[in-house]
Structure 1
């Protein structure tokens, strides 16, 4: 099994997901175009008691709380990244820009995009603002930074971890997955960040159901 697939498999096994359709995690083709009922709300503990309500700073310099401001009752798309990256971060950002365009005005209203830096010492609000501007990021997509300890806690709470400490300390081991969730229903799923963006749109739209208009 390739290193990326090993990391992705470990993410599924050790992550926080209350519900992850395996076919979506490794999807190569589009989901079937049939009417499907989403599973009922899980209420499995991935709410206010699970996510720490720590303070972070947006790329626009605004102070926000992780749970109360960013997550509570929202549909979200999440990834971890860093601005000065010669790996897959640029490709991931490019893919998510296409996803953002596909959702149009729903972004920032029905679904919210959050990118958390893995290098808060480098990625100041100003650096993240420049990165967002360079990638023509539209409203509804927020880049976030904070203290190193807080960002590491956020990363672990979202399941971007590896049980092997020698791999877990490597920043590049946490940038290959896009996580999306319906926080109200406490349901989460994921896909490779370099998936076909059209497939990502369909997966996210299916998973969010009626909460995404």
Structure 2
């Protein structure tokens, strides 16, 4: 198993419903109704050295760095999409809008939503901004584009891959999953993008928890 596979395996050991190497294990049950508490940071697995500061551009035209600006010490919700999509993308966006509404002011303060395009050649900041406005996206949810090479690196860093190269090359193979986690504490989980939004909210709140709670 290569170094990347080993890192994904370590990732899978510390999630609730985790990413196994090259495959997703989806969340299907509500987390236990106990006081949320995350374990201490695992240190040295998925920090700056792993993610790197890949340059990206937001739907508002702001230049940002993947780790330093978007991920460091944050709870995040991540998905991949493209604006001109007649498949699952519109349903995913609508579902995440319900999640955003349910989380209220916590979005942009305690948890951050990031949607990365899989078609950067089409999805300019202007196109993504129009998409965000059309879907009434609220603050705290950022759509991101960049060069094709950089977005490919981002996709692979987050583990949105398939072991079959012919499947991996298909954009639609990577749009049906939402990933969420606490970057500082290296806790990650994935679920189908059309999951019950109430269940998703409960799981995301778990990742927003502080070990001091």
Distance in 1 of aligned mates of 2:65 and 2:18 = 33
Larger displacement relative to structure 2 (37-46 or 61-70): 37-46
Is residue 22 of structure 2 the alignment partner of residue 22 of structure 1?
no
- Counterpart CA distance in 2 for 1:65 and 1:40 is 26
Structure 2 unmatched ranges of 5 or more:
1-7, 20-24
The Cα RMSD (Å) is 2.2
What residue number does 1:167 align with? 167
Question: Residues 75-154 of structure 1: matches in 2 within 5 Å?
Answer: 75-154=75-154
Q: Give the structure 2 partner of residue 55 of structure 1.
A: 55
Relative to 1, partners in 2 of residues 1:16 and 1:87: Cα closer, same or farther, differing over 3 Å? farther
Q: CA–CA distance in 1 between the matches of 2:12 and 2:112?
A: 18
For 1:173, what is the secondary structure of its paired residue? helix
Match of 1:198 in 2: 198
Q: Is the 8 A contact 2:38 2:210 kept in 1?
A: no
Tell me the residue number matched to 1:6: none
Give 2:155's aligned residue. 155
Deviation by residue 1:82-110 (Cα, 9 ceiling, x = unmatched) = 00111111111011111111111111111
Distance in 1 of aligned mates of 2:92 and 2:10? 20
Q: 1:113 to 1:190 in 2, by over 3 A?
A: same
Q: How far has the Cα of 1:42 moved from its partner? A: 1.7
Runs of 4 or more off by more than 3 Å in structure 1?
13-18, 22-29
Give the secondary-structure state (helix, strand or coil) at the position aligned to 2:100.
helix
Change (3 A) 1:36 1:145: closer
Q: How many residues align?
A: 201
Partner of 2:5: none
CA distance in 2, matches of 1:202, 1:87: 26
TM-score, normalised via structure 1 length: 0.87
1:207 Cα deviation after fit = 2.8
CA distance in 2, matches of 1:121, 1:157: 20
Q: How far has the Cα of 1:18 moved from its partner?
A: 5.1
Distance in 1 (CA, whole Å) between partners of 2:70 and 2:32 is: 31
Q: Is the 8 A contact 2:182 2:208 kept in 1?
A: yes
**1: CA distance, partners of 2:141 / 2:28:** 26
Deviation at 1:36, TM superposition (A): 5.2
For the Cα contact (< 8 Å) 1:57–1:146, is it kept in 2? yes
Query: 8 Å contact 1:167–1:173 — kept in the other structure?
Result: yes
- Describe the SS at the equivalent of 2:199: helix
